[in-house]
Amino acid sequence: MRILSTCLVVKMPIDTVADRLVRLLEIGFLASSEISVRSRQKMQYLFAAGFLAEEASGGGFRVVLRNREGVERWIRSVYPSGLHGSGQNLPPRAGGVANFRNSKRGGGIGASLVFLRGFFDIALRKGDLVMDVVSLTAAHEVVGCCIRDSDPWEFSGRVLIVENGEVFLHAEEMLPPANMAIFASGCLSDRVIQWLASLSGVSVVHAGDYDPIGLWDYLRLKQAMPGRVELYVPSDLEKRIIKFGNRKILEDSEDRMIAVRKCADDAVLSVLSIIDRHGLGLEQESLLLDVSDTDLCH
């Protein structure tokens, strides 16, 4: 006689609230102590609408199912694929939409998309794959790659981290010499910082806005790559701040400025002394503009 073996796959509820709702629908009640304050906040509508109710039970309280149809209607509005999720092997963000109507509930995408420009003697390698960044930049201006935590691209050389797009496209003309530029598009992701830090042959020049956000991003990099990161400070920074500075970019990030002052190194302190003297920050795009003594208005 042949014995057939079967494997029972049990699908778990996709979050704590879903777990509690599964049990309420199965048995009709649940001890109040099993529903946390956070879960109760998420289920607030169910109590307000009378679909769930709390009542005394013995020496404590319990939550009772009063209106199954109402609860099931709410579940469909919050969990589009049901309390146990879609069951599909989806990318994280797509899973967030499928299960919660919210891509961010799915977490990160598991990779960082990075734009590069290569200037001389630089190639990225991964196993047998070689990306000639210089030739690709000459042909297409910008090169894209995907950085993952496992099996990352490897290279060595001097890298410019450029915060804003216009400066990134002109980096070789106006920033210190480097093998390659990476477009930060604001602040670098933690994944990209850890990628750069893992490559012992890489040094970095950070070129960003002269404001709390740009300075903080430099400090993040320096902490991850001690001794291998420098801050780009143009010799005429004060002239540029006087002529093109913006007070609002400081006001919009006052909380971050506290952290910058707390962690500042000598390079940041030199920039802060100019910022504090004039009460102005400076956007990186000002580096594309000409400034001279005759143009200054004090």
Encode pLDDT of 82-93 as tens digits: 888 887 776 776
**At which residue do the structure tokens 């299960």 appear?**
99
Q: Where in the chain is the domain with CATH 1.10.10?
A: 16-106
Task: Give every CB contact of residue 203 below 8 A, 6+ residues apart in sequence.
Answer: 157, 158, 159, 228, 229, 230
Structural domain 111-295, CATH architecture = 3-Layer(aba) Sandwich (3.40)
Domain topology for 16-106 = Arc Repressor Mutant, subunit A (1.10.10)
Place of tokens 């629908």: 25
List every span in the chain annotated with CATH 3.40.1360.10. 111-295
Contact 181, 116 (CB under 8 A): yes
- Greater confidence (108 vs 11) lies with 11
Q: Regarding beta strands 229-231 and 202-207, do their DSSP bridges make them parallel or antiparallel, or are they unpaired?
A: parallel
CA angle 262/258/222 to nearest 5° reads 50
In tens, the pLDDT along 186-232 reads: 889 999 999 999 999 999 999 999 999 999 999 999 999 999 999 99
Binned at pLDDT 50, 70 and 90, residue 67 comes out as very high
The neighbour count for residue 47, using CB atoms within 10 Å, is 14
